[in-house]
């Protein structure tokens, strides 16, 4: 069985000719490592690269294809590209078809609906399964949930406004990509997902498609370490966020402000994934400019898996404030460590965490509810430990590598049988 993976990555995160190529999608790397143990399939990976030449190589038994997608250089060319807000990437897809022609896969596996790669479904005859990650159409509805459209424009820098850069302008580009996603989902016949949210969404947008349940791999380090952090006078809350407004950084800020006003305890918040230069952080600082100086929040930037696990193990609670999610790896990894979790109840989160059993779920955009939940677990730390213990137990069962491999191989077999 020959499987071709199409990934929307770039050369800086996927080095074709390195000794040990990685995709920079940690759970995909874990998946590939596990699948290599099987003698039932031959695997190829194709990714866009910043090059003018189509490239191919073979590493560790995997066939690799580099799909030329040169980035426009120069500040004005980049601004023009953003201003046009084009979602077209026909050059990458042309080379993806070349990779398909050379490898001749039995099944093509595309990760996500957000890239142009899904457009190849209607241009060739090999069956395609999309690994559902999240929906741009849903994200659009949440883009201005925490920071309004006016605020995203008002607090943007003059440079970002002039160069059509930043969150306010990115929304327009997102609309184009969401339109493309709708076209892709109209044509796709097979999906892999893992939550009630994505299953229902697929049935709504692609009513004639077949849906397969398959969990995701978690990096081993999160099972090798185990949370056991004591309660003290200084209570540490940690979050992992991307630089987008719908991830809820404003909710964290307001939660921290409320705890400062209503609790005598000392709370500090650590945000991994953002640093001081992130545009979304600058928006939030300008919005809360008078209150920001009273906040005890540190921004730790990106970090590798070992350092990430260590930071989570050295915190009291994991806080997930997002306005929309499907099955975030950050929550799954926090569950694997056993750290008590407080999360907004959005998207597919309720398929990951049972409220009051494996974590606390609160309403989205409700800082008082979030603050009260943090305070509740601080006052009843034994209950918090029980939540973390239950979450780890469920995570070990859900993310068992052998079971996930079996689920995925059965998916490929079912698709092949249907297309014989």
Please count the structural domains in the chain.
2
Task: Residue 337: name the closest of 249, 382, 399, 383 by CA.
Answer: 399
Model pLDDT, residue 11: 44
Residue 380 sits at the vertex; the CA angle it makes with 379 and 385, to the nearest 5 degrees, is 130
Same domain, 164 and 235: no
- Judge if 372 and 405 occupy the same domain: no
Residue 174 shares a structural domain with residue 284: no
Q: Which of 107, 148, 144 is nearest to 124 (CA)?
A: 107
CA distance 12 to 46: 14
183 and 251 both lie in a single domain:
no
Confidence at residue 100, expressed as pLDDT on a 0 to 100 scale: 96
Contact at 8 Å (CB) between 62 and 34? no
- Give yes or no: residues 330 and 272 share one domain: yes
Per-residue pLDDT of 38-85, as tens digits, reads 777 888 999 888 778 888 888 878 898 988 876 554 555 555 555 454
Q: Write down the residue that tokens 């849906």 correspond to.
A: 211
Contact assessment for residue 136 and residue 114, using Cβ atoms and an 8 Å cutoff: yes
Look-up: residue for tokens 């696990």? 309
Q: 101 and 249 in one domain?
A: no
Between the alpha carbon of residue 303 and those of residues 17, 120, 199, 307, 331, the distances in Å are 23, 34, 32, 6, 16
Q: What is the DSSP string of 152-170?
A: HHHTS-HHHHHTT-SHHHH
Query: Are residues 204 and 141 part of one domain?
Result: yes
- Residues of the chain short of pLDDT 50, as ranges, are 11-13, 73, 83, 85-87
Q: Are residues 241 and 120 in the same domain?
A: no
* Crossing angle between the packed helical segments 381-398 and 329-337, to the nearest 10 degrees: 110
Q: What is the pLDDT of residue 17?
A: 53
CATH assignment at residue 237: 3.40.50.2000
Shared domain for 57 and 171, answered yes or no, is yes
Predicted TM-score (pTM) of the model is: 0.91
Q: Are 351 and 205 in a shared domain? A: no
In a shared domain, residues 137 and 64: yes
**Do 231 and 185 sit in the same domain of this protein?**
no
What is the residue range of 85's domain?
Answer: 2-217+400-418
């Amino acid at each position: 069985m020959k499987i071709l993976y199409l990934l929307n990555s770039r050369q800086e995160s996927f080095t074709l000719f390195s000794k040990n190529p990685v995709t920079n999608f940690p759970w995909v790397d874990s998946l590939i490592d596990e699948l290599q143990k099987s003698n039932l399939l031959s695997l190829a990976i194709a990714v866009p690269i910043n090059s003018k030449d189509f490239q191919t190589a073979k590493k560790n038994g995997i066939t690799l294809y580099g799909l030329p997608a040169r980035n426009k250089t120069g500040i004005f060319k980049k601004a023009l590209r953003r201003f046009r807000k084009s979602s077209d990437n026909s050059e990458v897809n042309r080379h993806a078809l070349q990779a398909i022609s050379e490898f001749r896969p039995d099944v093509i596996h595309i990760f996500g609906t957000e890239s142009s790669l899904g457009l190849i479904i209607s241009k060739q005859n090999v069956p395609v399964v999309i690994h559902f990650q999240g929906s741009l159409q849903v994200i659009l509805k949440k883009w201005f949930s925490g920071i309004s459209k006016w605020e995203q424009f008002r607090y943007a820098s003059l440079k970002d406004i002039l160069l059509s850069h930043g969150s306010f302008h990115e929304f327009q580009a997102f609309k184009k990509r969401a339109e493309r996603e709708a076209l892709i989902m109209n044509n796709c016949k097979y999906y892999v997902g893992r939550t009630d949210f994505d299953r229902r969404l697929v049935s709504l947008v692609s009513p004639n498609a077949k849906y397969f349940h398959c969990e995701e791999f978690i990096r081993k380090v999160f099972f090798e370490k185990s949370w056991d952090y004591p309660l003290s006078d200084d209570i540490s809350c940690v979050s992992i966020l991307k630089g987008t407004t719908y991830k809820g950084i404003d909710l964290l800020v307001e939660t921290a402000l409320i705890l400062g006003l209503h609790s005598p305890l000392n709370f500090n918040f650590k945000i991994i994934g953002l640093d001081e230069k992130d545009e979304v952080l600058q928006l939030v600082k300008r919005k809360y400019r008078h209150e920001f100086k009273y906040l005890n929040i540190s921004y730790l930037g990106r970090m590798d898996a070992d350092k990430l696990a260590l930071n989570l193990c050295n915190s009291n609670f994991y806080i997930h404030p997002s306005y929309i999610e499907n099955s975030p790896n950050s929550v799954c990894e926090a569950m694997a460590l056993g750290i008590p979790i407080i999360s907004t109840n959005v998207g597919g989160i309720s398929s990951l965490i049972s409220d009051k059993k494996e974590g606390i779920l609160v309403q989205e955009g409700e800082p008082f509810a979030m603050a009260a939940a943090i305070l509740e677990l601080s006052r009843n730390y034994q209950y918090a430990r029980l939540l973390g213990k239950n979450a780890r137990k469920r995570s070990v069962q859900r993310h068992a590598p052998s079971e996930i491999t079996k689920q995925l191989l059965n998916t490929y077999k079912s698709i092949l049988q249907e297309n014989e």
